[in-house]
Each structure stands twice: as structure tokens, then as C-alpha cells.
A and B are shown apart, each in its own frame.
Chain A
Amino acid sequence: MKRIQEKAAQRAFGDNQIIRVSARMMVPFIQLFGLYVIVHGHYSPGGGFQGGVLLGASYILLALAFDLKTSLKTFSESMNSILGTTGALIFVGTAVLCALVGGLFLDYSALEPLLPLGPIEWRSFGIFIVEVGVGLAVMSIMLSLYWDLSSGGELDEGL
């Protein structure tokens, strides 16, 4: 037992073929499931918050199994900030657009002149748009929280 522990202590953390291959195989499926949870939030448990956390967790798994640089290579820091801002902007933009088109703030049925779906279907579709925005924002913030907290803000070393 002690020899195994010593051996494990010498090896770099996560530097293992099994962990790498299984993490690399699981990441696309986690992302697909995250997208499913966001998109299918109308018909099953789920929505923007949960799906966003799943999408962020897939990149965090990548960072845990390899290292921080690999996850930064697959999903760059500037892209992360752009996506997070876009997510928050989608939500607020939809709300403001409702007011600009002539309805009340956040009253999605006022968006009917843009696309003739019917006011009730527009309320359903507006919820979908908003959930996508929430998912993007939550994903980017989860990822940036992990990056900053695990490396102490340096973004080069760390977990």
C-alpha cells in the first residue's frame, strides 16, 4: 500500500492514460447533454442555469484531466468573455426589444411583428431565447471562476 502511495505521489496529478482518454471521450457527450438540457428545458427538468453549469463542467473536466493550458487552448479566455457578455446581452436585449417594439418590458408576446407565430407561441419562444442567454452567461462565468480560483488569477499554472 505504501509503495503504491509513493508511486502515486511521484507521478504528476492526472498524468494517466486512462484518465486522459476517458475524459477526452466524455467531454463531447457532456457538452451534448448540456445543450440538450438547455434546449429541452420546456419539456423536461432543465433550463439555462443547469445546462450552463453542465457546459462549464465539461471544460472544467478538461482542465482537471489535462491541465489549465489545454483547457485554455480549446476555449480561449477572450472567447469566454465574449460569450459571457453575449449571454447577458441576449437576455437584456430581448427584454429591451420587447419594450422597443411596443409592448411591455419582458413581455415576449409583443415581439409578434418580427415573426408571425402568435402571441402565446412567442411567449414560449421568448423563454427559449432567454434560456440560451442564461446558459451562455452561466457557462462562461463558471469557467472563469474555475480558471481564476485554481490558478490564483495567473492563468498559466495551477490545476
Chain B
Amino acid sequence: MTGLTAEIVAKYNYWLYVILMMVGLYAMIGKKNLVKKLLGMNIFQTAIILLYVSSGVKRGAGIPIVDKYKALAQGVDPTLVVNPLPHVLMLTAIVVSVSVTGVALAVLLRIYREYGTLEEDEILEKIGK
């Protein structure tokens, strides 16, 4: 048991993100309302973004903005700066998530205009008729 507790304490961030991802996955599969499905997808994306960003953290390191002239004269010590690559990747991922949310909301508006509801089973009923 101490082994498991030590494991959870050492990697608590990954455990939290996996739980967050499970919430999102449950909302995407289990909910009937399309807006709730979309919110579940957003939670899922947030979990993945947090997972990547947290992989860039280093103990005792500062933000990835350095003093230009000092860096040109002496160079930068990589142990004093957090890993900037996950930040860059997730900056673009956030923008993609915003775009996807916008397009999905537009499609949901069209669906609501066409069928008068956003419940999945009612829409399927109306299509089947």
C-alpha cells in the first residue's frame, strides 16, 4: 500500500489528468444531449493540454524567458529554464480546440434549427421517420 501511495504522490498530476479525461470520456459517450457531448470533448482536450504542459515542468526552473544580453554573453543553463516545447505545442492545440468548438457550435445551431431539439435520441427518431 505504501508503494501505491508513494506512486500516487509522485505522479499526482497524471492521476488527476486521467480522472479529468475519464469525466470527459463519460460525458462524450453517456450523455444524450449534444451540447453536453461537446462540453465533454472540451474537458477531454483540457486534460490532454494539462498533461502536456505538466510534462514540461522542472524542479527549480524558471519561466522560458531569458535575459537576452546575459544569454548572448554567457549562454543559458537548460536546468534553470522549464521545457518550452510543450508550451508551444499546446498553444497551437488550444487554438485548434477553439476552432473545433466554434465549428461544432455552428453545426449544433443548424441541427437545432432543422430538428428543433438537441437530444440525440429525438433527432434519431425524427430522421428515422
- A149 adjacent to B105 (CB under 8 Å): yes
Interface of B is mostly: helix
User: For A45, what are the chain B residues with a Cβ–Cβ distance below 8 Å?
Assistant: 63, 65
B31-74 contact mask (Cβ, 8 Å, vs A): 1 or 0: 00000000000000000000000000000000101000000000
B42: shortest Cβ distance to chain A, in Å?
15
Contact A49 B102 (CB under 8 A): no
> Does A74 sit at the interface, judged by CB under 8 A?
no
Interface size on A (CB < 8 Å)?
Answer: 13
In the complex, the answer to whether B106 meets A148 with C-beta atoms within 8 Å is: yes
* Alpha-carbon gap, A67 to B25, bound state (A): 37
Residues of B near A44 (CB, < 8 A) are 65
Q: Does B95 contact A (CB under 8 A)?
A: yes
Give the residues in chain B near A148, CB-CB below 8 Å.
Answer: 106
Q: Are B109 and A149 in contact (CB under 8 A)?
A: yes
A47 vs B91: C-alpha distance when bound (angstroms): 10
Contact status B113-A152, CB under 8 Å: yes
Q: How far, in angstroms, from A141 to B65 measured CA to CA in the complex? A: 29
Please name all residues of chain B whose beta carbon is closer than 8 Å to the beta carbon of A153 when the two chains form the complex.
109
Q: Is the beta-carbon distance between B109 and A152 smaller than 8 angstroms?
A: yes
Minimum C-beta distance from B56 to chain A (A): 14
Interface string of A148-159 (1 = CB under 8 A from B): 110011000000
Hey, which bits of chain A sit against chain B, CB under 8 A? Answer: 43-45, 47, 49, 138, 141-142, 145, 148-149, 152-153
What 5 A-B pairs come out closest when comparing CB atoms? A145-B102, A149-B105, A49-B95, A152-B109, A49-B91
21 A-B pairs with CB atoms under 8 Å apart are A43-B65, A44-B65, A45-B63, A45-B65, A47-B91, A49-B91, A49-B94, A49-B95, A138-B95, A141-B99, A141-B102, A142-B98, A145-B102, A148-B106, A149-B102, A149-B105, A149-B106, A149-B109, A152-B109, A152-B113, A153-B109
